[in-house]
Amino acid sequence: MKLAVAGKGGVGKTTIAAWLGDHLARQGHDTWLVDADTALSLGAALGLGPAAIPAPLIGDADLIRSRVGTGMISLTPEVADLPERLCVPAGAARLLVMGSVAGAGGGCACEANALLKALVSHLILERDQWLVVDLEAGVEHLGRGTVAGVDGLVVVSEPSFRGLSVAARVAAMAADLGLARQVLVLNRTSPGTALPDIPGLPPLAVAIPPLPGLLARQMDNPSVLGLPEQSGIDAAMDAILAALAASGPEQPQPPRCVPCATSS
């Protein structure tokens, strides 16, 4: 299964990506996570210390030039060896830190973008591992060819009109690329919260309430794993996966709310 996670900054998108990857890995799946966000916080969310998190691929100018070239760049660079070369262990999963062109800072974004897109395409289309990609609000890493291999898009929002408006725009961009299998995760909200009338929102898969264990930890520990509410988190991840399996253009998923336990 290949999943992409997107949403407005600050809504818990990276937290959901970390929970999904950890959940799949603990179930015995060969799971890879890809940090393709400018913030580059997925490694910390998975409990890795600064020394254990590799520098993002986006900043390796020598590697980018060696694979893509300069001037007349290659749009199909060789990337098959890069996942094993660049990944680091993250619990039972493996993590690739790519970064985003938006955060590259200087230089020609075309070269970096070509390599990032080629690597994402390789991971999605040519490998059998389970994959969770933490995207930015947009879907710039996904092209029309790559999106055909994505099994689902998880759009994360907080209970706010701004967050949900971004979620609807992300869903529309993905749908334009042909990615119809989408679900919405409403984070840090009370069960039963009514959604505003915003056209294009994906069907609601789960509403996750504020977690006291996470609130108590987040000021001194960036990890979102191993919380007291683990059983509720696992139930929420199962609800997301079930909603993705049931959704699609021919099987619209009705909104559902699965309360997340506040203690194990």
pLDDT of residue 45: 98
Cβ(48)–Cβ(112) below 8 Å: no
pLDDT at site 250: 46
CA distance 107 to 105: 7
Give the model confidence (pLDDT) of 236-248 as tens digits.
Answer: 999 999 999 998 6
What is the identity of the amino acid at 203? P
Give the lowest-confidence range in 48-57, 77-86, 146-155.
146-155
| Backbone φ/ψ region at 113: left (φ over 0), alpha (ψ -120 to 50), beta | alpha
Q: What percent of the chain has pLDDT over 70?
A: 90
Distance separating alpha carbons of residues 56 and 221, to the nearest angstrom: 22
pLDDT tens digits along 175-220: 999 999 999 999 999 878 899 999 999 999 999 999 999 999 999 9
Token match 């790559």: residue? 146
Q: Which residue has the higher pLDDT, 151 or 101?
A: 151
What CA–CA distance (Å, rounded) separates 211 from 15? 12
> What's residue 211's pLDDT?
97
**Could you tell me how far CA 108 lies from the centroid of its own chain?**
25
Residues 197 and 113: their CA atoms lie apart, in Å, by 35
Buried b (16+ CB within 10 A) or exposed e, 131-142: bbbbbbbebbbb
- This prediction has a pTM of 0.89
Q: What is the pLDDT of residues 200-211, one digit of tens each?
A: 999 999 999 999
- pLDDT tens-digit readout, 67-78: 998 777 888 899
pLDDT in tens, 149-174: 899 999 999 999 999 999 999 999 99
Q: Is the pLDDT of residue 52 over 80?
A: yes
Residues present in the chain in total: 264
In three-state form (DSSP H/G/I as H, E/B as E, the rest C), the secondary structure along 151-184 is: CEEEEEECCCHHHHHHHHHHHHHHHHCCCCCEEE
Q: Homologous superfamily of 2-246 in CATH?
A: P-loop containing nucleotide triphosphate hydrolases (3.40.50.300)
